[in-house]
Amino acid sequence: MNDLPRHYEQLREEFPRYLEALEDLGQAARDAGPLEERTTNLVQLAAAAALGSEGAVHSHTRRALEAGATPQEIRHTLVVLTSTIGFPVTSAALSWVEDVIGAG
């Protein structure tokens, strides 16, 4: 499940310090408070869905699974967004989640 997108790997090769700083910032944000890793990934998954970012939905789905979230919890995270972001956006995000869950 550690297959990173080719684009991300290319960025890492071309701008290693930049990606390292970005990853450090993400870790610092997760470490700054009491939320567990599973929960932070579900929150980030919801934000990615709201932004309509397919790549980020894939990434945070993988991370949430690795942190112990179940496929049902991941799907429910998106379903509860429906009244906030609308059914079409939620439906798209759910299809992106299935790309990852189905591949796992």
pLDDT tens sequence for the chain (104 residues): 457 778 888 999 999 999 999 999 989 999 999 999 999 999 999 999 999 999 999 999 999 999 999 999 999 999 999 999 999 999 999 999 999 998 66
Neighbours of 62 (CB within 10 A): 20
The pair of three-digit structure tokens given for residue 33, joined into one six-digit string: 């408070």
CATH of 36-103, one of 1.20.1290.10, 3.40.630.30, 3.40.190.10, 3.40.50.300: 1.20.1290.10
Packed helices 54-66 and 37-51: angle between N→C axes, nearest 10 degrees: 170
Residue 60: C-alpha distances to residues 13, 68, 70, 99 (Å): 22, 12, 13, 12
pTM assigned to the model: 0.85
